[in-house]
Amino acid sequence: LAKTTQPISMDSYEGQEVNITCSHNNIATNDYITWYQQFPSQGPRFIIQGYKTKVTNEVASLFIPADRKSSTLSLPRVSLSDTAVYYCLVGARGGGFKTIFGAGTRLFVKA
């Protein structure tokens, strides 16, 4: 199973772009990279998923270099409501039961 490493916490201010990087040196050829967001006392929520290069949706962008040993979640113009824990997962396309949630990155957005 590919292990992921993320910063434990990050601080930002409203309106800034936030980039959270995840390392996954042992990623397998058929592994996808998935990011989830979790607010306190709620279940995680899917944000974005990618395999290589760049993926963008209405919430975030995901940048994946050619070697796929890391990935960066980019949140444009964060607001106070983006304060949450962000998890990077590597594994079967949707996560599946073989995917392990790590400790995540606690993002705190300040006014």
Partner 1 sequence: ETGVTQTPRHLVMGMTNKKSLKCEQHLGHNAMYWYKQSAKKPLELMFVYSLEERVENNSVPSRFSPECPNSSHLFLHLHTLQPEDSALYLCASSRGTDTDTQYFGPGTRLTVL
- Chain residues binding partner 1 by CB under 8 A are 34, 41-46, 49, 92-98, 100-104
Least distance CB 39 / partner 1 (angstroms) = 10
CB 28 within 8 A of CB 92: no
DSSP state of 90: E
DSSP-derived pairing of the beta strands 105-110 and 9-13: parallel
| Amino acid letter, 100 | I
Q: Which is nearer to partner 1, 16 or 106 (CB)?
A: 106
Q: Which is nearer to partner 1, 43 or 81 (CB)?
A: 43
Q: Which is nearer to partner 1, 41 or 67 (CB)?
A: 41
